[in-house]
Amino acid sequence: VGLDWSWFIVFFLITWSLAAHYFPMNYPDWSPGLYWLVGLLTSLLFFGSVLAHELSHSLVARSTGTPVHGITLFIFGGVAQIAAEPKRPRDEFWMALAGPAMSLALALLFGLIWFGTRDANQPVAALASWLGW
């Protein structure tokens, strides 16, 4: 897994946007430190979600015998460096479906976390809400 230099720009911009604008606008009673902590954690989990999406493509590719050279995260998300075209159309179908299926599973997971914490832990619920939507 590699990180292109542009990933750091996006990571900073998302963290800053969440900590300086999104969370203060929606949760005005939090401390400034909490805005930055939750913004940082949300950004890390967001990029973890992008990585999980790309890993899903890669794992399915490998399971079909298609070689994968790696994954690179960059300004527009991520890319799995799949070395060759799949041998069968159904292999390509499952490879293509794997990433969105992982993203949907993560959205459902974050939605459940939001639902379970919305009344008990506002920072966790806020993080999960942003990631789930």
pLDDT tens track for 57-79: 999 999 998 888 989 988 888 88
pLDDT of residue 76: 83
Confidence of residue 84 (pLDDT cuts 50, 70, 90): confident
Domain-by-domain residue ranges, the chain? 2-132
Helix orientation angle between 122-132 and 32-63, rounded to the nearest 10 degrees: 40
Residue 46 confidence (pLDDT) above 90: yes
What's 78's DSSP letter?
A: E
Residue 16 confidence (pLDDT) above 90: yes
Q: The pTM is what?
A: 0.88
Task: Report the percent of the chain where pLDDT is more than 70.
Answer: 100
- Catalytic-labelled residue, pool 38, 54, 57, 71: 54
Residue listed under structure tokens 């794992």: 59
- Alpha-carbon distance of 19 to 15, in angstroms, equals 6
Residue 38 confidence (pLDDT) above 90: yes
pLDDT of residue 82: 85
Residue listed under structure tokens 């900073």: 12
pLDDT of residue 93: 94
- Alpha-carbon distance of 7 to 47, in angstroms, equals 9
Query: Who has greater pLDDT, 83 or 117?
Result: 117
Residue 81 confidence (pLDDT) above 90: no
User: Is 54 annotated as catalytic?
Assistant: yes
- Alpha-carbon distance of 39 to 15, in angstroms, equals 5
